[in-house]
A and B are shown apart, each in its own frame.
Chain A
């Protein structure tokens, strides 16, 4: 008898993305690739060309009259509620009515026989405005008394004044941190098909099908059970398709119901970038007190964020900035305040890290300030402030850091990257003067895992075994390239001990798993993997109980072996075993459920345990900077990242590499620029520059900490990987700072703002040269 050693594609093994072959051959279908039914119509948004104004009149007669136009939709046509606020704050009208609050705001939609006709027709609208003063920057909003879009938060521990009084040094400063466009390669899109009664089916590219479903129902004024939202895959999401797709889904569905035809809406790239939110820009005012050794005594920081015209997700985003304002460091006395400012810009939204990166960048700026002040290697300062194991381990939100692997990670990385020798070499290189200067920096990242909206930490899955032994897997998470489906299928394969190929992963649909959370906060695998495992265990339990009865054996003698089931001295293929179970009327499907244990959070008090656990990582970057032009290259980067016991190391490594380069883009060349009129001028890849292949570190060593295992009972002891590595390239930013600081012999903190474009770098060089 042939002995199978193991199944193909079990947990903790390298496996290609389940759609990889379709990706490379053009066979993977995205929303715009779905075959269109006869008579499909196309919708397009008409948007405001002014940043802030009162609307006096809207004349759409020429739009309606354009050949091929079927009709227009405005606020008056909304059958339910003209609102798509994802948090229920009711502050986000789908269509503007009396006021325009940002350049690019949706005023109406046109529905036409083709997308081209619709695009051209929107230009025919005649809108009469009375312009009002507008505010673009967060600090300008503070100065002008603009409101918060959502209540701010304060985190406090200890007594800041006491800490400051006891400290030998104190530095105050300000840092501006730019936002970031998601620049997912596939833009926003929704494709709705009308059904009978109130029913409508919406195909979309959303990270949050349940919310899109609820929003469509809200806008149509129908119960949620009338709306189905389907997502097979996204061409990238990164947070940009968490709440922002709601408006597209709602309009496609409205139009589909009104005209009883399939309706697709897909903005062009300019409209996508003008009309949908981005990463929040921040202005951080910091005040750090520290002793002669560089150990922090007190921190008093304020984080003002450009939230845009509505709250969207700005509450939890600015909260998360505060949750990460400590990064990996213990602050004995601390006060952190958020200022979620209203501005006349698009409403900023989720983006990988969700405010956390901005908090971490500010923490690292303080480390740099201290190091320059004391003339120390910034790495020494960082180490001096790391959280301790048993003491010095309380965060500003009173959660104890119990799983700290940072000292070990950093020590290993320092060795493997040859940090000390290379720092010496860099200092020697710069000491020679010369136009090309170098910089080297090692930065850590600690990132809290769980939605801080505690109720979001639940998930469902549906597992079917058909009577031929093939398995269908469905869960509430969405696939946007991260390999979520692959990883969860590995969990299922391992549970039943069947080859990965036995499992069919189907599209995410609100019809199969209800009330799902967004695939966000790095939580996709943690939550949905556990829910899927729960479903598998239910089915297995039934199968074992049946086998015991049917074959008269003890439960211990029923074993799921690779592609076989042993029952006492009998052996069946998995398919044979299932067939028999079916004939004996065993329920071969189950809905699984999971909720994260241990977490709780009291926002009013600023205390609790918002995070189930932390993920850790560290990276070193070496850069070269041209001090005549500000141009730079990343010569080498070394990464050591903690993903616990990885479910699929090669996919996790892909997440780390990708996050590094994406984070590098945020901190270097990705610059959002508004003009004096409040129009975003960087709204397409021609003007908004994300990294290219040539920008990748010349030497790029990425490793996972293979010794790490999650101390909490997560899915197979793995850790979330989506967001944490996004903050690793802060080392690139700080290395650029070091190269700049060399022109003034490191006597002054270079205080680069982000993004450190070549212009920003050259201007800092000039400033330091005096």
Chain B
């Protein structure tokens, strides 16, 4: 395998080529400290406030795509071959303001101004997709941006009226598009990238086979996909990742295949990239998917990472377990398929050997039965679940023939509620049956009290969701329109 010992990417209007890049170096520090581009701010360094939001453009199967990301938890090494666009570049030459910026000024969308560059970047990315966004679209685009001053009302007004100040086609990110595509194409050399600073090493495999090869020689390496969790290991817990293997750039892990029986997606598919196929084939997950983190994190984070990470409070495992999902693990040339629920062994322990990686996730398609996915959190958007649940119940002739109820936030791993499931199977499909099953839940779980929720609340709300499930399948209004 040919290797390259520097990374290269476009930063605004320039090409950057650097070789002393460590595994832990963040994009935000690079921008603010090395490049003195101080428009992007550090508000939290954990991907929650959005003050550091920048656009990252990359070549995909559908062409050049720009997405918002949190520069604070995005590693510099992962930007090889990308176009990074910061607030300083948005207005274009001559100090002109872009339409988004103009709208924010005219609608008084800034007060202290510290969150503003990040908010402008999110609204800009939204506007490139939707010239006249709905309030819902604006709110979704801003899920990852905190503002403490304005109460958001003027920002939402601005976002809806950007179109009065210009059109996306006139923006220089649009007019320069062809030349950016050409430049990014010219950066692709198909080589593995190995860079280091001091003794911190970062490896970007050339393709999936190369990833398998790299992991054979570096079996204890930290695998970094979207870095939406691993980023915090560095920025908050001061861990050193080296050697780190970056996989977010691998096209081979981004494939989505829909067959008659199942949807299979590569482990590198981001939440955003999965959104359409999820909404189409699993409509009960459509709203749920929008409530996973904020937009920037959905643009970075991967379903594979959410699983491989093994967190008991990841949003995707419970709902995927309920759908009977399985994962393919690969080590070298060897692959094995594991039912997702069996992957989670104990807190912090998964069924993944050294040198092995999650290659893909297979989710059976659903044709029959009742399906639900619920997330309970203190704040609706961009919050970690107190309780997450996926429910699948098959009913024949009014009798329950099969049930899978998988919960997150209730135990040390994402876990099925065996006693509650048993209380459903063989019983008539009725509210009484569901309530009886809910009453069994304390046999399945003894949840913890922490800063997100008390054990009592977790149990009570988990039980009440059985009733929501019943009411919704009978067409009753059983939750808020926004839930």
Q: Which residues of A contact B (CB under 8 A)?
A: 16-17, 19-30, 32-33, 35, 119-120, 123, 182-187, 233-238, 268-270, 434-436, 480-483, 624, 626, 628-633, 650-651, 654, 657-662, 669, 671, 673, 675, 681-682, 684-687, 689-696, 700, 702, 757-759, 762-763, 766
Among B48, B378, B464, the most chain A Cβ lie within 10 Å of the Cβ of B378
Is B112 part of the contact surface with A, judged by Cβ < 8 Å? yes
Interface residues contributed by chain B, number (CB under 8 Å): 91
Of the residues A658, A692, A759, contact of B381 by C-beta under 8 Å: A692
Is B202 part of the contact surface with A, judged by Cβ < 8 Å? no
Evaluate contact between A26 and B87: CB separation under 8 angstroms: yes
Evaluate contact between B383 and A651: CB separation under 8 angstroms: no
Evaluate contact between A234 and B112: CB separation under 8 angstroms: yes
Among B112, B378, B383, B464, the most chain A Cβ lie within 10 Å of the Cβ of B112
Evaluate contact between B46 and A684: CB separation under 8 angstroms: yes
Evaluate contact between B112 and A695: CB separation under 8 angstroms: no
Of the residues B41, B86, B102, B479, contact of A185 by C-beta under 8 Å: B41
Would you list which residues of chain B between 217 and 235 have a CB under 8 Å from chain A?
232, 235
Q: How far is the CA of A185 from the CA of B116 in the complex (A)?
A: 10
Of the residues B87, B110, B150, contact of A657 by C-beta under 8 Å: B150
Of the residues A235, A687, A758, contact of B113 by C-beta under 8 Å: A235
Would you list which residues of chain B between 134 and 152 have a CB under 8 Å from chain A?
138-140, 142-143, 145-152
Chain B window 222-253, contacts with chain A (Cβ cutoff 8 Å), 1 for yes, 0 for no = 00000000001001101000000000000000
Hey, which chain B residues are within 8 Å of A633, CB to CB?
480-482
Residue of A nearest to B476 (CB): A435
Hey, which chain B residues are within 8 Å of A628, CB to CB?
461, 464-465, 467-468, 478-479
Evaluate contact between B480 and A684: CB separation under 8 angstroms: no
Min C-beta distance of A613 to chain B, whole Å? 25
Evaluate contact between B112 and A270: CB separation under 8 angstroms: no
Q: What is the predominant secondary structure among interface residues of chain B facing chain A?
A: loop
Q: What are 21 A-B pairs with beta-carbon distances under 8 A?
A: A20-B108, A23-B116, A24-B100, A24-B105, A25-B117, A26-B87, A29-B38, A32-B32, A236-B112, A435-B477, A436-B478, A633-B481, A654-B111, A657-B151, A661-B152, A669-B379, A684-B44, A685-B49, A693-B138, A693-B152, A702-B153
Of the residues B87, B109, B156, B380, contact of A25 by C-beta under 8 Å: B87
Evaluate contact between B482 and A685: CB separation under 8 angstroms: no
Q: How far is the CA of A295 from the CA of B140 in the complex (A)?
A: 46
Evaluate contact between B38 and A33: CB separation under 8 angstroms: yes
> With A20-B110, A24-B117, A658-B111 given, can you name 4 additional A-B contacts, CB distance below 8 Å?
A24-B104, A684-B48, A694-B140, A759-B378
Would you list which residues of chain B between 147 and 167 have a CB under 8 Å from chain A?
147-156
Residue of B nearest to A625 (CB): B480
Evaluate contact between A235 and B108: CB separation under 8 angstroms: no
Min C-beta distance of B377 to chain A, whole Å? 8
Is B426 part of the contact surface with A, judged by Cβ < 8 Å? no
Q: How far is the CA of A626 from the CA of B377 in the complex (A)?
A: 13
Would you list which residues of chain B between 454 and 483 have a CB under 8 Å from chain A?
454, 456-457, 460-461, 464-465, 467-468, 471, 476-483
Q: How far is the CA of A696 from the CA of B135 in the complex (A)?
A: 11
Min C-beta distance of A478 to chain B, whole Å? 11
Is B359 part of the contact surface with A, judged by Cβ < 8 Å? no
Hey, which chain B residues are within 8 Å of A481, CB to CB?
110-113, 149
Hey, which chain A residues are within 8 Å of B232, CB to CB?
686
Evaluate contact between A480 and B112: CB separation under 8 angstroms: yes
Evaluate contact between B112 and A186: CB separation under 8 angstroms: yes
Of the residues B151, B457, B478, contact of A435 by C-beta under 8 Å: B478
Q: How far is the CA of A355 from the CA of B223 in the complex (A)?
A: 49
Evaluate contact between A629 and B479: CB separation under 8 angstroms: yes
Evaluate contact between B382 and A657: CB separation under 8 angstroms: no
Of the residues A26, A658, A669, contact of B38 by C-beta under 8 Å: A26
Evaluate contact between B150 and A757: CB separation under 8 angstroms: no
Q: What is the predominant secondary structure among interface residues of chain A facing chain B?
A: loop
Residue of A nearest to B452 (CB): A687
Hey, which chain B residues are within 8 Å of A21, CB to CB?
97, 101, 105
Evaluate contact between B238 and A123: CB separation under 8 angstroms: yes
Residue of A nearest to B376 (CB): A629
List 5 tightest A-B contacts by C-beta distance, closest first: A26-B39, A481-B112, A235-B114, A23-B113, A661-B151
Is B43 part of the contact surface with A, judged by Cβ < 8 Å? yes
Min C-beta distance of B384 to chain A, whole Å? 7
Is B14 part of the contact surface with A, judged by Cβ < 8 Å? no
Q: How far is the CA of A344 from the CA of B105 in the complex (A)?
A: 44
Hey, which chain A residues are within 8 Å of B97, CB to CB?
21, 24-25
Min C-beta distance of A301 to chain B, whole Å? 29
Q: How far is the CA of A660 from the CA of B151 in the complex (A)?
A: 7
Min C-beta distance of A126 to chain B, whole Å? 17
If A26-B88, A657-B151, A693-B143 touch, whether A119 touches B105 (CB-CB below 8 Å) is: no
Is B392 part of the contact surface with A, judged by Cβ < 8 Å? no
Would you list which residues of chain B between 430 and 457 have a CB under 8 Å from chain A?
450-454, 456-457
Evaluate contact between B476 and A19: CB separation under 8 angstroms: no
Min C-beta distance of B89 to chain A, whole Å? 9
Evaluate contact between A269 and B383: CB separation under 8 angstroms: no
Hey, which chain A residues are within 8 Å of B113, CB to CB?
17, 19-20, 22-24, 28, 233, 235, 481
Residue of A nearest to B112 (CB): A481
If A26-B86, A696-B156 touch, whether A20 touches B105 (CB-CB below 8 Å) is: yes
Chain B window 106-126, contacts with chain A (Cβ cutoff 8 Å), 1 for yes, 0 for no = 101111111111001000000
Q: How far is the CA of A691 from the CA of B145 in the complex (A)?
A: 10
Min C-beta distance of B345 to chain A, whole Å? 26
If A16-B108, A435-B471 touch, whether A236 touches B478 (CB-CB below 8 Å) is: no
Q: How far is the CA of A657 from the CA of B154 in the complex (A)?
A: 9
Of the residues B39, B102, B148, contact of A183 by C-beta under 8 Å: B148
If A654-B111, A696-B151 touch, whether A759 touches B454 (CB-CB below 8 Å) is: yes
Residue of B nearest to A183 (CB): B148
Is B36 part of the contact surface with A, judged by Cβ < 8 Å? yes
Hey, which chain A residues are within 8 Å of B272, CB to CB?
none
Is B428 part of the contact surface with A, judged by Cβ < 8 Å? no
Is B45 part of the contact surface with A, judged by Cβ < 8 Å? yes
Residue of A nearest to B464 (CB): A628
Evaluate contact between A692 and B46: CB separation under 8 angstroms: no
Hey, which chain A residues are within 8 Å of B116, CB to CB?
23-24
If A235-B114, A654-B108 touch, whether A692 touches B146 (CB-CB below 8 Å) is: yes
Q: How far is the CA of A393 from the CA of B147 in the complex (A)?
A: 39
Hey, which chain A residues are within 8 Å of B360, CB to CB?
none
Hey, which chain B residues are within 8 Å of A270, CB to CB?
236
Min C-beta distance of B273 to chain A, whole Å? 23
Evaluate contact between A269 and B44: CB separation under 8 angstroms: yes
Of the residues B114, B384, B454, contact of A686 by C-beta under 8 Å: B384
Of the residues A17, A269, A686, A700, contact of B111 by C-beta under 8 Å: A17
Q: How far is the CA of A692 from the CA of B383 in the complex (A)?
A: 10
If A24-B97, A236-B148, A238-B148 touch, whether A682 touches B44 (CB-CB below 8 Å) is: no
Of the residues B88, B150, B236, contact of A658 by C-beta under 8 Å: B150
Min C-beta distance of B44 to chain A, whole Å? 5
Q: How far is the CA of A389 from the CA of B36 in the complex (A)?
A: 60
Evaluate contact between B480 and A632: CB separation under 8 angstroms: yes
Among A236, A651, A690, A763, the most chain B Cβ lie within 10 Å of the Cβ of A236
Evaluate contact between B39 and A673: CB separation under 8 angstroms: no
If A32-B38, A633-B482 touch, whether A186 touches B461 (CB-CB below 8 Å) is: no
Residue of B nearest to A696 (CB): B152
Is B67 part of the contact surface with A, judged by Cβ < 8 Å? no
Residue of B nearest to A702 (CB): B153
Hey, which chain A residues are within 8 Å of B477, CB to CB?
434-436
Of the residues A16, A624, A659, A689, contact of B106 by C-beta under 8 Å: A16
Is B77 part of the contact surface with A, judged by Cβ < 8 Å? no
Residue of A nearest to B103 (CB): A24
